[in-house]
Amino acid sequence: PVLWKYMRGTVDFFRSLPAFALFPFFILIFGPGDPAKIGTTSWFIAFIMLIASSYAVRQANETRLKAARSLGANRLQTFLLVMLPEGLPQLMVGFRTCLAFAPIVVVATEMFSGTQYGLGDRIYEARLVYKIPEMYAVLIFSGCVGLFLNKMFLVLVEKRIHWINK
């Protein structure tokens, strides 16, 4: 809590920076191509997960934490057996949000990066030459991929983390 109190303003500042506007910065750092796209996407989702993780840690019931400590659990055991199971629902919300936004960031950076591959390039090229049906077909395909990823993630969560939906 003390660390979060001092870091919250900094985190809020950096997460408010538009990831797409930082794309040229990532091109300078990593060079053109996939590393810059990965860097931009990582920047964007890192703050989503940082905030989700901070809330997940604070989800832990203080009584359970004290009980674990009084029973002799060390810090790692307390984290693995109390904090993590109680914080997983919030972490899964963060992961699911990242799963939705990461492909959007990748497609958008492909539209601006001048790459010759990817859905973003296909959308951009189709728009330039007025192939509107192709452009919408790629958009619909992109939405279907996102829907599939979300459904698979939910199946995994319901199967492995059964206490979230109860």
Q: 52-110, pLDDT tens digit by residue?
A: 988 888 878 889 889 999 999 998 999 898 888 888 888 998 999 999 999 888 888 88
CA torsion sign, 156 to 161 to 162 to 165?
negative
Out of 28-32, 89-93, 116-120, least confident range:
116-120
pLDDT of res. 24? 87
Q: Which of 147, 156, 40 is nearest to 102 (CA)?
A: 40
Cα distance between residue 22 and residue 1, in whole Å: 30
Model pTM above 0.75: yes
For residue 49, the model assigns a pLDDT of 93
Confidence of residue 166 (pLDDT cuts 50, 70, 90): low
DSSP assignment letter at 73:
-
Q: Are 139 and 123 in contact (CB under 8 A)?
A: yes
